[in-house]
């Protein structure tokens, strides 16, 4: 049985101090997420409770109790301190979903440094842009990824240490590289926790924008208050649960609800470091007896595609609560999951910038398939007019999703980009960049992005970043990148390319350009289709009209073209 109250009960007389009291935190005290996710749980008498059940694609397993988490994070933190890394130094985590990624995150926070998790599939250019912007001091990585760092190391004098966690001694380490083996290191019983407070920086996540380079979203240790409470109330994690968050900690879901949330409530979570396969996922749920499952619509649609017959081959009766995040969850997926798993996936809405769940289908609340639900207690949310930024009171009318600033996990800055940060706030509201309507019952219904950012499988891709990379290819004269509809991923990247003289469009060139982007940026940013054009639609001032290309892909009205350079 669920241990939470009804939505209406929760929003009545709500105050964030509820979480502070449960966590034993008093305003002004030391607040360190790393300590709360390890030492505190041990002090509560759960040192021997299982914290992490990990396995890779071969079935190899590792198990960690909360005391193991405490010792491992102490050991990593001490190692970093001995290298001279300390308060607010940025430490990048650039690994697959191996235990060191999760344990390293906790260790970095314990010493007051800022954790900078990055998706391990990023290519060298994507990696460089983010490390350079953050002036990262150290990067923790694996043999399989260190080559990407070596390609860009000469451009980063500030990157003092490249820590390789699985160095086998076969090949010599290069400049600034240092081996660290958690299994061979002497466990550190005591690490002095750096006295971070509520507003001390904790995590730096990078997100994509419409123009310019990716933006570093700075979070603080006080984010724990919202992440802890939403884990309890929305994900409904309880003492005996086995929790599986499928998100990679290179993205915000994988840290807020793949590390901080479950470990701050003392839950047992499992991690599978393997690629997607419907059969492998079902086998994992059956083997681990997963009870609470937090996943993404793209994965759910892929499971739907694999069919219901496959589901029946496995015992998934342990499942009791399912939730979804990252992109709109279509109504069909909600109905399907209720039919095949006996439980609907409950859609949740939030962003890298918000740090925790903002709109949600609360357990026990009436579910409207296709809706994002209602605001989490303590969150004041509305939709505002795109020109006046005044709240829209008319039910069903589309506006920009907006939140009243001040919730605990709200970003505190865009790193080195104060102007863009301030631009996110209008008329006393934080503007999400997403559009929605609100029905008569107060449920939010997503309608789309308000900019050109591409949401492919829950991952945001910047058209600007892909266009910039395309222009570095020897054959490309001009490029424009837009979203293209896709049955599983909702959107994928499509590129319109004008070639330089001497190059002819053919399938071989298309493949070479695609692979160029995949290696330079990431598989997510790689165009799934390239359309060759003689020229791109531009305004008279020379700005490429992505809007026209997007409209063509989505079968939408083109709208006003009076500013086009060729328009007469």
Residue 491 belongs to domain with CATH number: 3.30.300.30
pLDDT of residue 372: 96
Q: What pLDDT, on a 0 to 100 scale, did the predictor assign at position 184? A: 96
pLDDT of residue 61: 97
Angle 429-357-298 (CA atoms, 0-180°, nearest 5)? Answer: 115
Token digits of residue 174? 């290069």
- For residue 516, give Cα distances in angstroms to 53, 286, 389, 471, 535: 37, 39, 41, 11, 22
d(CA 533, CA 540): 19
Q: Are residues 483 and 412 located together in one domain of the fold?
A: no
Q: Are residues 224 and 298 in the same domain?
A: yes
Note the pLDDT tens digit of each residue in 509-522: 999 999 999 999 99
Asked if residue 449 belongs to a domain, the reply is no
Tokens at residue 239, please?
């003492």
Q: Given this model, what pLDDT does residue 537 score?
A: 84
What pLDDT, on a 0 to 100 scale, did the predictor assign at position 515? 95
Residue 498, domain member (yes or no) = yes
> What pLDDT score does 536 carry?
83
pLDDT digits (tens, 9 = 90+) for 467-512: 888 988 999 988 889 999 998 888 999 999 989 889 999 999 999 9
> Has residue 294 been placed in a domain?
yes
**pLDDT band of 211, cuts 50, 70, 90:** low
Say if residue 2's pLDDT is above 60: no
CATH value at residue 398:
3.40.50.12780
Tokens of 51: 């914290």
Q: Which residue carries 């992490």 as its tokens?
A: 52
H/E stretch holding 444 reads strand 444-449
pLDDT tens per residue across span 356-372 = 999 999 998 999 999 99
Q: Report yes or no on 138 lying in a domain.
A: yes
Cβ(213)–Cβ(467) below 8 Å: no
Q: Do 370 and 224 belong together in one domain?
A: yes
- Which DSSP state fits 442? S
pLDDT tens for residues 401-457? 999 999 999 999 999 999 999 999 999 999 999 999 999 999 999 987 777 788 888
Residue with tokens 């997100």: 207
Examine the domain organization and report whether 529 and 480 are in the same domain.
Answer: yes
Domain final residue, candidates 435, 464, 495: 435
Quick one: pLDDT at residue 545?
77
Range of the domain at 421: 7-435
**Domain co-membership, 378 together with 488:** no
Boundary-marking domain end, from 380, 400, 435:
435
Structural domains counted in the chain = 2
Q: Inform me whether the pLDDT recorded for 563 exceeds 60.
A: no
Confidence of residue 212 (pLDDT cuts 50, 70, 90): low
Same domain, 296 and 348: yes
488 exposed, middle or buried (CB, 10 Å; 0-12, 13-18, 19+)?
middle
Residue 568: pLDDT band (50, 70, 90) is: very low
Same domain, 499 and 397: no
CA distance 226 to 232: 10
Q: Which pLDDT belongs to residue 538?
A: 72
Question: What is the percentage of the chain residues whose pLDDT exceeds 90?
Answer: 79
Average pLDDT over residues 170-182: 94
pLDDT at 567: 41
566 within a domain of the structure (yes/no):
no
* Count of helix runs (H) and strand runs (E) in the chain: 19, 27
- For residues 169 and 380, the answer to whether their CB atoms sit within 8 Å is no
**HSE (CB half, 13 Å, CA atoms) of 187?**
9
Burial of 306 (0-12, 13-18, 19+ CB in 10 A): middle
pLDDT confidence tier of residue 210, bands split at 50, 70 and 90: low
* C-alpha dist (Å) from residue 347 to 267, 359, 522: 22, 9, 27
Does residue 222 contact residue 172 with C-beta atoms inside 8 Å?
no
Identify which has the larger pLDDT, 212 or 440: 440
- Residues 354 and 474 grouped into a single domain: no
Could you give the dihedral angle defined by the CA atoms of residues 333, 336, 342 and 345, in that order, rounded to the nearest 10 degrees?
0
pLDDT of 87: 96
Q: What is the pLDDT of residue 92?
A: 98
Q: Within a domain: residue 250?
A: yes
Beta bridge partners of residue 50, listed in sequence order: 65
pLDDT value for 54? 98
> For residues 493 and 483, is the Cβ–Cβ distance under 8 A?
yes
Same domain, 368 and 493: no
Q: In this structure, are 229 and 196 located in the same domain?
A: yes
Same domain, 47 and 186: yes
Nearest to 157 by CA among 180, 139, 178, 132: 132
Cα–Cα distance, 358 to 354 (Å, whole number): 7
Among 435, 465, 484, which residue terminates a domain? 435
Per-residue pLDDT at 62 exceeds 70: yes
Helices 297-306, 331-341: inter-axial angle, 10-degree rounding: 60
Residue 298 has a pLDDT of: 86
Q: Is residue 220 part of a domain?
A: yes
564 pLDDT more than 80: no
Q: What pLDDT shows up at residue 562?
A: 46
Determine how many CB atoms are found less than 10 A away from the CB of residue 76.
Answer: 28
Q: Determine, yes or no, domain membership for 447.
A: no
* Residues 249/257, Cβ–Cβ less than 8 Å: no
- How far apart are the C-alpha atoms of 169 and 150, rounded to whole Å? 17
**The pTM is what?**
0.89
Rounded mean pLDDT, 546-554: 84
3-state secondary structure 254-291: HHHHHHHHHHHCCCEEEEEECCCCHHHHHHHHHHHCCC
**CB neighbours of 185 closer than 8 A, spacing ≥ 6?**
75, 79
Domain co-membership, 282 together with 430:
yes
């Amino acid at each position: 049985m669920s241990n939470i109250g009804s939505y209406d009960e929760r929003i009545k007389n709500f105050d964030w101090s509820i979480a502070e009291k449960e966590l034993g935190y008093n305003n002004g005290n030391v607040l360190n997420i790393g300590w709360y996710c390890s030492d505190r749980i041990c002090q509560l008498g759960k040192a021997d409770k299982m914290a992490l059940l990990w396995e890779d694609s071969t079935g190899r397993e590792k198990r960690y109790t909360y005391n193991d988490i405490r010792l491992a994070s102490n050991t990593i933190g001490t190692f970093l301190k001995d290298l001279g890394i300390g308060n607010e130094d940025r430490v990048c985590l650039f690994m697959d979903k191996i235990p060191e990624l999760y344990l390293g995150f906790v260790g970095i926070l314990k010493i007051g440094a800022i954790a900078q998790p990055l998706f391990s599939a990023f290519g060298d250019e994507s990696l460089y842009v983010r490390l350079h912007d953050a002036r990262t001091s150290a990067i923790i990585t694996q043999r399989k990824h260190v080559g990407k760092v070596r390609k860009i190391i000469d451009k980063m004098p500030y990157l003092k240490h490249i820590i390789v966690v699985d160095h086998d001694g076969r090949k010599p380490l290069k400049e600034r590289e240092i081996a660290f083996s958690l299994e061979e290191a002497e466990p550190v019983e005591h690490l002095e926790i750096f006295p971070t407070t509520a507003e001390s920086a904790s995590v730096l996540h990078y997100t994509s924008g419409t123009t310019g380079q990716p933006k570093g979203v700075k979070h603080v240790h006080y984010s724990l208050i919202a992440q802890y409470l939403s884990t309890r109330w929305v994900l409904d994690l309880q003492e005996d649960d086995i929790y599986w968050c499928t998100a990679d900690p290179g993205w915000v879901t994988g840290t807020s609800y793949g590390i901080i949330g479950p470990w701050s409530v003392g839950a047992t979570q499992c991690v599978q470091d393997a690629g997607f396969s419907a059969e492998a996922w079902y086998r994992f749920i059956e083997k681990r007896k997963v009870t609470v499952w937090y996943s993404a619509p793209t994965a759910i649609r892929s499971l739907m595609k694999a069919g219901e017959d496959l589901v029946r081959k496995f015992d998934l009766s342990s499942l009791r609560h399912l939730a979804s995040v990252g992109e709109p969850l279509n109504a069909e997926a909600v109905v399907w999951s209720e039919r095949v798993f006996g439980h609907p996936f409950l859609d949740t809405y939030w962003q890298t910038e918000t740090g925790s769940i903002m709109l949600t289908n609360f357990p026990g609340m009436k579910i409207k398939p296709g809706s994002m639900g209602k605001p989490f207690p303590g969150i004041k949310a509305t939709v505002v007019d795109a020109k006046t930024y005044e709240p829209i009171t008319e039910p069903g009318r589309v506006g920009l999703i907006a939140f009243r600033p001040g919730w605990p996990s709200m970003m505190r800055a865009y790193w080195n980009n104060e102007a863009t940060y301030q631009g996110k706030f209008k008329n006393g509201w934080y503007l999400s960049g997403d559009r929605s309507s609100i029905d008569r019952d107060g449920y939010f219904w997503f309608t789309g992005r308000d900019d050109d950012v591409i949401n492919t499988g829950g991952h945001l891709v910047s058209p600007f970043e892909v266009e910039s990379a395309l222009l570095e290819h020897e054959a490309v004269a001009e490029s424009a990148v837009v979203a293209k509809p896709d049955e599983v991923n909702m959107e994928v990247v499509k590129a319109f390319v004008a070639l330089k003289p001497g190059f002819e469009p053919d399938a071989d060139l298309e493949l070479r350009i695609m692979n160029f982007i995949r290696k330079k940026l990431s598989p997510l940013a790689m165009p799934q289709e390239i359309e060759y054009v003689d020229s791109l639609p531009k305004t008279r001032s020379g700005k490429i009209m992505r809007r026209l290309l997007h409209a063509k892909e989505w079968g939408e009205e083109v709208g006003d073209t009076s500013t086009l350079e060729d328009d007469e």
